[in-house]
Structure 1
Amino acid sequence: MPTTTETTTAAWRTAGERGDAEAATACLAENAVAISPLTAAFRFEGREQVRQMLVAAMQVFDDIRYHTEVGDERTRSLFLTGRAGKEPFEEAQLLRFDDEGRVVELTLFGRPLPALTQVMSTIGPALVRAQGRPGLARVIRAATVPLHAMTRLGERTLVPLADPNRGH
């Protein structure tokens, strides 16, 4: 018989693959915290703030597929692939659970850099628009789009030059 952590993890994975932020939110403890891969400036604290982040994230990500899961009753690491706009990405999710098997902490890690800058240029504006601050959303978008363009260009043109398997 599955444990509460196994049941929550299965529900979390299904919600992610379906893009269902409300189903993902149902897996969270009331005091859940989400730690973003994009900033150390703040955390999303409490179920409602994490829900808002999940809603914005589900607008950005497509084709999510979990492929690896490791852990125990208190901590799980999930690994997935997907797309953020045109950018393929990989993500690791560290989930910590409370005594009832609810997610109390979610720490996210992502790669490659162009996918992260694509997320930054879309999720930030979506989050502040949802807070009723469309002007700030435009400013964030304007500030992050050039960063994404530079990282995308670098990934496609400069980074391949450093490939150790490339002939000299």
Structure 2
Amino acid sequence: MEPTGDDRYDRTIARWRAAGERADAAEAVRCLAPDVAVISPLTARFRFHGPAQVGDMLAAAYGVIDGIRFHTAVGSGDTRALFFHGTVDGQQVEEAQLLRLDAAGLIRELTLFGRPLPALTAVMQRLGPPLLRRQGRPGLARLVALATRPLATMTRVGDRRVVPLGDPARGRRAS
């Protein structure tokens, strides 16, 4: 019997969350509509389209982000937002996912948002090269690794050494 109401959506969301927490890209792909599109937090230059491209992206992401644990879910019907914590290179990362589902209850659009910046740049540095290697583009993978390393380093060091100087809890000097 076909599910009614929010059941089909709720089942997909439960399967999606479980797949993410187990880093199971194959199971996550089973939650996707044939025309799925993923909007990345890292670039506005392109989107991932279709289960094959999204599956490659998820497999690479699950290889980079450790210990995914969803902590909040909001929404109803065909529009949901999920939030998780994880780590990348020992840094805490939080991701928000806006999911839009089709009439069959499958994910047709996934928009990703991440924070904080040092973790996001670490994801960018670590995600691009394996994804490009999966696409059979090893030369571009090396170039992306070299190009993203300085940004990841700058944001990590800046977050540790410079950003704390602007902490509002630090005393203000009298002018």
Bucket of the pairwise TM-score, normalised by the shorter protein? over 0.9
State the AA in 2 paired with 1:21: A
Who is 2:160 aligned against? 156
3-state DSSP of counterpart to 2:41: coil
The residue that corresponds to 1:29 in the other structure is 33
Q: Which residue number corresponds to residue 105 of structure 2?
A: 101
Q: Which one has the largest radius of gyration?
A: 2
State the TM-score, normalized to the length of structure 2.
0.94
AA matched with 1:90: E
Root mean square deviation of aligned Cα: 1.0
Partner of 1:111: 115
**Runs of at least 5 residues in structure 1 that lack an aligned partner in the other structure:** none
The one-character-per-residue Cα deviations of 1:106-126 (angstroms, maximum 9, x if unpaired) are: 000000001111011111111
Of residues 127, 134, 138, the one that matches 2:142 is 138
After the TM superposition, which segments of 4 or more aligned residues of structure 1 sit over 2 Å from their partners?
A: none
Task: Tell me if 1:43 matches 2:43.
Answer: no
Secondary structure of 2:36 counterpart: strand
Q: Hey, what's the Cα distance between the residues in 2 that align with 1:67 and 1:116?
A: 19
Give the secondary structure class of the aligned counterpart of 1:109: strand
Alignment of 1:117-132 (within 5 A): 117-132=121-136
- Aligned residue type for 1:155: D
Q: Deviation per CA, 1:121-142, whole angstroms, max 9, x where unpaired?
A: 1111111101111111011000
Q: Distance in 2 between matches of 1:109 and 1:154?
A: 21
Is the aligned partner of 1:10 residue 2:14? yes
CA deviations on 1:21-49 (whole Å, 9 max, x unpaired) are 11100000000000000000000011111
How many residue pairs were aligned?
168
User: How far 1:87 moved relative to its partner?
Assistant: 1.5
Query: For the residues of structure 2 that align with 1:97 and 1:154, how far apart are their CA atoms?
Result: 39
TM (norm. structure 1) is: 0.97
Letter in 1 for 2:75: G
Once residues 87 and 36 of structure 1 are traced to their aligned partners in structure 2, the CA distance between those partners, rounded to angstroms, is 20
